Amino acid sequence: MPKDAQGRTTKHIKCSCKHGYQDRECGDDIRLHNYARKGRNGEPGWRCTVCCDVKVASQADIEKAGKT
């Protein structure tokens, strides 16, 4: 399981997809995302567990991450 610089494998980020359960559990439009070492364009990112959309990870998330 790939981890970001803070050792996280998941993160809650706003997404445009619709999911009633996660709206209730995580907040409106907040979805659980899995860290992806190679997301969009091969750049590290966070992949939505609902719609698989990938957000580019922030520099702080990427730093020193992804070696293992």
Nearest distance from C-beta of residue 7 to Zn ion, angstroms: 23
Does the footprint of Zn ion cover residue 17 (CB under 5 A)? yes
Helix (H) or strand (E) run with residue 60 in it: helix 59-62
Q: How far apart are CA 47 and CA 39, in angstroms?
A: 7
List 38, 51, 60, 63, residue binding Zn ion (CB under 5 A):
51
* Binding segment (CB under 5 A) for Zn ion, from list 6-14, 20-28, 29-37, 54-62: 29-37
Sheet of strand 54-56: strand arrangement: 10-14, 30-36, 45-48, 54-56
| List of residues contacting Zn ion (CB under 5 A) | 15, 17, 31, 48, 50-51, 53
